[in-house]
Structure 1
């Protein structure tokens, strides 16, 4: 894995210069926003509202994949869905400055939704259904899928290649991860083919901002092809919550209830991917600072135990 710090050359001056290059006038106010995969700054402007500058992690997505993300966001916004979409400068949304790729969006505030509120969950269900109606119109060509290769195999290899995983745990981790992989494969096979559509992909409460006028969605950085339930389960922590989300969802789009059987598999994939994500990004100085527990043997011991528990829950042999 690369040992290069991907954002070592991205200074506040670079951020201001990149915004200025778009014909905007920063007033010098910068606020680093909570983001580890990319670097995101709120930039104050003279005589107008701030913008958010998102600098993409080098070599993660191709230009074509990022442009698909932008096109999807603009398509959703054009359909009057509350999606924060990139601003267009000279016909371009993907911008380049001093070796970095970036995009600017309007700054939209808000708070996390209340996942205990049936009213808010139904509201989110309606909006996600409308998003999926748009998402089903065409397919991504460059952004991949919610699949085992992306969310299990690649993260597992990243962990095994990392110095974070203690040597005595390597064999146990490999067995646990393979059990999850086999159990997930069996679950997907048992459910059978489900319709694939363009998804938000990472529709957790942190990517939904609620205001007095209702919610809006941010961050399509993990948008990819997959089953509709991928955009629902992270907002629904239990059966009553899922019922509320689906009550709203089905007002606009039919839901295939067989997809609910995929939720334990999707949850297991996300947990395995999380550890692989940390391992693959450990060379970025932001990660040891944000996730110091990943340098401790006991965290990996618990992670291996959790993987076995997830496999057991999926009925693995």
Structure 2
């Protein structure tokens, strides 16, 4: 019974990790160090030349082989165009995606440094410039097998995932059902045209931008998709008042437009995208709960207080969608 209930990642032992990587012809000089990653399993290691690598073992059945290869080709395209990204290592035959012990995996060069400081105008400008450079390249072609971000279907599936579970009390279920239904209806106003979607990083938060001073690199393109350009920008806008947010936006877009024009009409999609991320995050936690890493990392998901707060946050988003901020 215990074996039947095992999660696939339970079989990814340190020995198997080393075996998989050394099977590529690299000699591992240090024991793999697990990094904070929950969707996949990611490890920091050094080879016998003291070069540091990040090994990513992909969650089984999340992406197809074709989707993973398209991500890697996208990264190669960006790197060849001079965009600062962490592109995957390729072996002598040109392969970047490898398979061992039932897992797809890839090696990426380790990117040292820290996340940008969003109260630093120079950092905001540099991040905007980097994302603009990314989009100047990514807008030249389209993904054929990677997903397309569709707000209505994503909101619907997230809502269903939460309501299908046993996480909510009776009163919380009623409140969540009501507010999530309202959000779905409001999101119908914010469906962007197909031609607005370009290839984007998809999960462009501070943890995926690393560097020193104002020299940054984008890492972890695991969520790259077709979506509007603003998807890679809105998470940099963290200010709580209008004046400071205007300053953040000004620096970010000034840097962005060094390389790529930005359609200001996309600012209308910031709150819808924030709403979608909030809904998807809770649904993601619920969907992944059988992975032992999740109860350990997110124990508060099982508390009523978390869901009370989540419902209040969604109510606040409903008000913002009904009466958009100045950005819209």
1:296 to 279, 289, 303: 303
Alignment correspondent of 2:273: 266
Distance in 2, matches of 1:170 and 1:3, equals 28
Residue in structure 2 matched with residue 7 of structure 1 by the alignment: 9
Deviates more, 1:149-158 or 1:99-108: 149-158
Q: Is the 1:140–1:198 contact (alpha carbons within 8 Å) kept by the matching residues of 2? A: yes
199-208 or 158-167, larger mean C-alpha shift: 158-167
Aligned to 2:263: 256
Number of aligned pairs? 313
Alpha-carbon offset, residue 167 of structure 1: 4.2
Q: Which residue of 2 aligns with 1:112?
A: 115
- Root-mean-square deviation over aligned CA pairs: 1.8
Match of 1:101 among 75, 81, 104: 104
Encode CA deviations 1:1-44: one digit per residue, 9 max, x unaligned: x9652301000111100110110001132211110110000122
User: Is the alpha carbon distance of 1:194 and 1:310 closer, same or farther for their aligned partners in structure 2, counting shifts above 3 Å?
Assistant: farther
Long gaps (5+) in structure 2 = 239-244, 324-328
Matches within 5 A, 1:56-71: 56-71=58-73
Instruction: Identify the residue that residue 41 of structure 1 maps to in structure 2.
Output: 43
Alignment of 1:123 with 2:130, yes or no, is no
Alignment partner for residue 180 of structure 1, among 172, 177, 183?
A: 183
SS of residue in 2 equivalent to 1:24: coil
Q: Distance in 2 between matches of 1:162 and 1:91?
A: 44
Kept in 1, the 8 Å contact 2:138–2:198? The answer is yes
- Say which SS state the counterpart of residue 9 (structure 2) adopts: coil
TM-score, scaled relative to structure 2: 0.91
8 Å contact kept, 2:149–2:227: yes
In the superposition, relative to structure 1, how do residues 241 and 20 fare at CA in structure 2: closer, same or farther (>3 Å)?
Answer: same
- For 2:241, the equivalent position in structure 1 comes to none
2:251 is the counterpart of 1:244: yes
- Residues of 2 paired with 1:264 and 1:39: CA distance? 31
Q: For residue 85 of structure 1, what is the aligned residue in structure 2? A: 87
- Aligned with 1:19 (options 15, 18, 21): 21
Contact 1:187–1:314 (Cα < 8 Å) also in 2: no
Q: How far apart, in 1, do the equivalents of 2:55 and 2:214 lie? A: 24
Corresponding residue of 1:210: 211
Distance in 2 between residues matched to 1:193 and 1:105, nearest whole Å: 32
Name the structure 1 match of 2:236: 235
CA distance in 2, matches of 1:47, 1:124: 32
TM (normalized to structure 1)? 0.94
Structure 2: distance between partners of 1:14 and 1:206: 27
Q: Deviations over 1:210-236 (max 9, x none)?
A: 224710110000100010011011112
Q: Secondary structure at the match of 1:109?
A: coil
What SS does the corresponding residue of 2:108 show, helix, strand or coil?
A: strand
Tell me the distance in 1 between the aligned counterparts of 2:237 and 2:116. 12
